[in-house]
Amino acid sequence: GESVGLHLPTLSVQEGDNSIINCAYSNSASDYFIWYKQESGKGPQFIIDIRSNMDKRQGQRVTVLLNKTVKHLSLQIAATQPGDSAVYFCAEIKDDMRFGAGTRLTVKP
C-alpha cells in the first residue's frame, strides 16, 4: 500500500505486505530528515534517519528514500506487522526539527 502523507492521512495494509508512507517537506535547506513512529499515548520514537547527501538508507525492515529535487521523503516498511500500526511522522531539521502532518498506518491481520 502507498500513501501521500499530507493528502491521505490513513493507510491500511494487510499483514505481510509492504507499506510505503510518503511525506513532502518544506525547507529545501533542511539537511537532515527523520522518520518517527508514534503509538497511541506515547511520544514519537525514532525509526530511521537520512542526511541530505544521501538518497537512500536502509535499516531493519525499513528503508528511507530522499528525493531532494521534489522535496519528498518516503518510508518503506517491509513485511508489515500488526506492531507497526501507529502514526508515522517525517521530520526535517535545519536549525530545529519540524514535523510533517503524519500518516496513520493500520495493519490488518
Contacting residues toward another protein, per CB under 8 A: 31-32, 34, 36, 38, 41-46, 49, 89, 93, 95-102
Q: Which is nearer to another protein, 45 or 81 (CB)?
A: 45
**Minimum gap (Å) between residue 12 Cβ and another protein:** 17
Q: How far is CA 63 from CA 41, 57, 80, in A?
A: 25, 6, 13
If 0-12 CB within 10 Å is exposed, 13-18 middle and 19+ buried, where does residue 38 land?
A: middle
**Minimum gap (Å) between residue 58 Cβ and another protein:** 17
Maximum distance among all Cα pairs of the chain, rounded to whole angstroms: 41
Q: Which is nearer to another protein, 41 or 109 (CB)?
A: 41
